[in-house]
Amino acid sequence: MLKIENVNVFYDGLQALYSVSLEIQVEEFVCILGPNGAGKSTLLQTIAGMLAPKQGSIFFENRPIHGLESYNIASLGLALIPEEGWLYGQMSVEENLLMGAYPKSARKNIKRQMDFVFDLFPVLFDRKKQLAETLSGGQRQMVAVGRGLMCNPKMLLLDEPSLGLAPIVIKDILKALVRINKEEKTTILLTEQNIFHALKISQRGYLLENGKIFMQGASKELLGNKHIKKNYLGV
């Protein structure tokens, strides 16, 4: 589905990713773990075309996408759900969701996708006329995820969806991700600092430290891994 080979990325003149390679199969649920500043956001933004890799290649469905503009990547069915949300504050929830279906190819399925989003997050249905900037943090994150889903993506890139949210809200959102993966057959690549939750719901994981892939494996194995236990789970 997605294949990244030896990608080097610079951010503000500093190297943020060192020769990162990874591969994700169709319908997989993969997480990228790592501390703050390890380069997780940089990696996802590079895949989505917001940053250009200096070296290396990225293939989506066997098609090279490095060097494509972000608006082209969006129409291929690869949706980024950014950490800060990048919502349209002065637009209603409904309009925010509609913007997710902006690529021409996505405009046919609007009704179906919107129903699915409202089914996932019923609270958004009640607030669909409300301006996005008046929502709570959790609701904003739901809008961000929902907006990503509106283009009926083949793959979702989620950048720390749980950041700064209350535990109960985190649970709702992670549950929704599992449903998306199961019901919609959407491949998911998730970055998380919240390693325990992430490994619980994903199938495989990569550990990113200082811009390099430090470790990879099945989620269950990683949960039992000494390095992870010691440094990240505090056991």
Partner 1 sequence: MLLELIIRGITIGLVYALMGVGLALLNGVMRIINFAHGEFYMIGGYMAYYASTMLGFQFYFSVPTAMIITFILGAVVEKLLLSPIHTQEMEKPMDYALIMTFGLLLFFRQLAIKVFGPFRHKPADYITSDVYILGVKISGNEVLAGAVSAILVIGLAIFIKKTWRGRGWRATTQSRQGAKINGVDIGKESWIACGVACALAGAAGALVAPIFTLSPTIGGSPLVKSYEVMAIGGLGSIAGSLVAGLMLGITETLGAFYISSAYKDAIGFLMMGFFLLFRPQGLFGQK
70 binding partner 1? (CB under 8 A): yes
Token pair of 126 as six digits: 């009640």
Asked whether 21 and 7 are in contact (CB, 8 A), the reply is yes
Cβ nearer to partner 1, comparing 32 with 79: 79
Q: Kindly report the CA angle at 18 between 32 and 212, in degrees rounded to 5?
A: 40
From candidates 50, 123, 163, 201, binder to partner 1 by CB under 8 A = 50
Phi and psi, residue 185, nearest 5°: 60, 35
Of 234, 232, 200, the closest CA to residue 215 belongs to: 232
Q: How far is the CB of 78 from partner 1 (least distance, A)?
A: 10
> Is the Cβ of residue 69 or residue 115 nearer to partner 1 in the bound state?
69
Q: Which two tokens stand for residue 118?
A: 């409202």
Inter-residue contact 166 to 91 (CB < 8 Å): no
87-106 residues in contact with partner 1 (CB under 8 A) are 87-91, 95, 98-100, 102-103, 106
Other Cβ atoms within 10 Å of 122 Cβ, number = 10
114 to 153: interface string for partner 1, x by CB under 8 A: ---------------------------------x---x--
* Residue 117 CB, nearest approach to partner 1 (Å): 15
For residue 63, the surrounding DSSP H or E stretch is strand 63-64
Is 74 a residue that touches partner 1 (CB under 8 A)?
yes
User: What amino acid occupies position 217?
Assistant: G
H helix intervals, the chain: 40-47, 70-75, 93-100, 110-120, 122-126, 137-149, 167-183, 195-201, 219-224, 226-228
Q: Does position 110 bind partner 1 by CB under 8 A?
A: no
**Other C-beta atoms lying within 10 Å of the C-beta of residue 234:** 7
Looking at the Cβ atoms of 107 and 112, the one nearer to partner 1 is 107
Whose Cβ is closer to partner 1: residue 18's or residue 88's? 88
Told to check if 10 binds partner 1 by CB under 8 A, we report no
Q: Least Å distance between CB 144 and partner 1? A: 9
Q: Does 54 sit near partner 1 (CB under 8 A)? A: no
87 or 173: whose CB is closer to partner 1? 87
Q: Which amino acid type is present at position 134?
A: T
Residues in the chain: 235
Tell the smallest beta-carbon distance from residue 145 to partner 1 (Å): 13
CB nearer to partner 1: give 76 or 213: 76
Residues that bind partner 1 (CB under 8 A): 48-50, 69-71, 74-75, 79-80, 82, 85-91, 95, 98-100, 102-103, 106-107, 147, 151
